[in-house]
């Protein structure tokens, strides 16, 4: 694996079919599953590592985002990446951006409401990565369901020649969706954090039992969360997967997603619902502790 900092260097090394895994670093099993999927499908896997300032609407959140380039390099190499693209801010934004990508509709509501400007930053940086690295395939986690819909819509609207792949959420052994910010959850708050996924799983159970009403599925989650201490709920919604629009009834692939704060940590999670297979995608659960908490 070679580490480079410019688009030109990355393009020189990316030969054959190229799969891109965009990340902001502090890699975990979710990222590694994307690298693994990209390795299966492509001749060359490019992992980008860039903490994008445009998508943070809270400066303190940007400052607190964990960074460890040596750790990430070792993990990317061991997972099978061929190229690690680590640009600095000046490479990505040599001047104040005059062009932003706004994906109307899909980026509104849910995360769009609670994190104003977030999806403009996401869409803009992903568009730059796709244009600059020119992969044929790009891999994103289903955990960020609305983001996945935003990226897919953007690539279609801009006729970008890339296939977007959404991969199942990876979960810790207790069910909590793997995320870098999990390390900030206090020990006494952990049961409350796990309560988020348990509430979503209950809705998944109801869906697999035949429930299709968005209102009923949402109420199942809200009722479960009502018994969980220390949870400050921002939203619980059932939305269509392809455009993140709120639905009253699940007639095509959808997700039931939520955002909540546990202490000072904001968490998001979801379960995808597929009426064709009548199954809920709860993700893939780890057998032991995540690499987030120690050596790998």
Supply φ then ψ for residue 121, to 5 degrees: -65, -40
For position 124, which CATH number holds?
3.40.50.620
Do 250 and 114 belong to one domain? no
β-bridge mates for residue 85, sequence order: 4, 48
Task: Give residue 116's pLDDT.
Answer: 93
Task: Give residue 214's pLDDT.
Answer: 98
Q: Which residues contact 130 (CB under 8 A, 6 or more apart)?
A: 20, 138, 155, 160, 162
Task: Give residue 295's pLDDT.
Answer: 61
Task: Give residue 240's pLDDT.
Answer: 98
Size of the chain in residues: 296
Mean pLDDT of 118-133: 97
Structural tokens at position 256: 């039931």
Within-domain flag for 173: no
* Catalytic-residue membership of 165: no
Supply φ then ψ for residue 206, to 5 degrees: -65, -40
Please report which confidence band the pLDDT of residue 64 belongs to, taking 50, 70 and 90 as the band edges.
confident
Sign of the four-CA dihedral 109, 25, 284, 263:
negative
**3-state secondary structure at position 119:** helix
Q: Report the alpha-carbon distance of residue 285 to residue 30 in Å, rounded.
A: 10
DSSP state of 273: E
Please report which confidence band the pLDDT of residue 117 belongs to, taking 50, 70 and 90 as the band edges.
very high
Task: Please give the tally of structural domains in the chain.
Answer: 2
Do 266 and 135 belong to one domain? no
> How many CB atoms sit inside 10 A of residue 158's CB?
14
Within-domain flag for 252: yes
Q: Report the alpha-carbon distance of residue 283 to residue 143 in Å, rounded.
A: 9
pLDDT surpasses 60 at 296:
no
Please report which confidence band the pLDDT of residue 57 belongs to, taking 50, 70 and 90 as the band edges.
confident
For position 280, which CATH number holds?
3.30.1300.10
pTM: 0.95
Q: At what angle do helices 118-133 and 145-157 cross, to 10 degrees?
A: 50
Please report which confidence band the pLDDT of residue 248 belongs to, taking 50, 70 and 90 as the band edges.
very high
Boundary residue ending a domain (115, 144, 167): 167
Do 83 and 148 belong to one domain? yes
Q: Report the alpha-carbon distance of residue 10 to residue 4 in Å, rounded.
A: 6
DSSP state of 199: H
Q: Check if the beta carbon of residue 260 is closer than 8 Å to that of residue 231.
A: yes
pLDDT surpasses 70 at 253:
yes
Q: Check if the beta carbon of residue 138 is closer than 8 Å to that of residue 164.
A: yes
Task: Give residue 47's pLDDT.
Answer: 98
Mean pLDDT of 219-233: 97
Q: Check if the beta carbon of residue 269 is closer than 8 Å to that of residue 287.
A: no
Do 204 and 99 belong to one domain? no
Which residue in the list 28, 31, 118, 165 is annotated as catalytic?
31
Give the rounded distance of the alpha carbon of 51 from its chain centre: 14
Supply φ then ψ for residue 16, to 5 degrees: 75, -155
Please report which confidence band the pLDDT of residue 60 belongs to, taking 50, 70 and 90 as the band edges.
confident
Lowest mean pLDDT among 6-20, 54-68, 81-95, 277-291: 54-68
């Amino acid at each position: 694996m070679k580490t480079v900092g410019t688009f030109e260097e990355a393009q020189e090394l990316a030969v054959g079919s190229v799969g891109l895994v965009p990340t902001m670093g502090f890699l975990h099993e979710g990222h590694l599953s994307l690298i693994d999927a990209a390795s299966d499908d492509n001749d060359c896997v490019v992992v980008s590592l860039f903490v994008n300032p445009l998508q943070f609407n809270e400066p303190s959140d940007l400052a607190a985002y964990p960074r460890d380039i040596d750790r990430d390099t070792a993990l990317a190499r061991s997972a099978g990446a061929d190229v690690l693209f680590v640009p600095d801010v000046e490479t990505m934004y040599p001047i104040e951006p005059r062009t932003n990508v706004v994906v109307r509709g899909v980026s509104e509501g849910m995360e769009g409401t609670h994190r104003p400007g977030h999806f403009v930053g996401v869409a803009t940086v992903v568009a730059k990565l796709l244009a600059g690295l020119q992969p044929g395939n790009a891999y994103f986690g289903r955990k960020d369901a609305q983001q996945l819909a935003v990226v897919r819509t953007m690539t279609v609207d801009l006729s970008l020649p890339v296939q977007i792949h959404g991969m199942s959420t990876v979960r810790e052994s207790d069910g909590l969706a793997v995320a870098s910010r999990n390390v900030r959850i206090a020990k006494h708050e952990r049961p409350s954090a796990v309560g988020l996924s348990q509430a979503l799983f209950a809705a998944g159970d109801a869906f697999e039992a035949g429930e299709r009403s968005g209102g009923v599925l949402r109420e199942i989650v809200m009722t479960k969360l009502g018994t969980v201490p220390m949870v400050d709920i921002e939203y619980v919604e059932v939305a269509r997967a392809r455009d993140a629009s709120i639905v009253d009834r699940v007639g095509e692939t959808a997700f039931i997603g939520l955002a909540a704060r546990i202490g000072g940590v904001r968490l998001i999670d979801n379960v995808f619902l597929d009426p064709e297979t009548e199954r809920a995608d709860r993700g893939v659960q780890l057998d032991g502790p995540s690499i987030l908490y120690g050596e790998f």
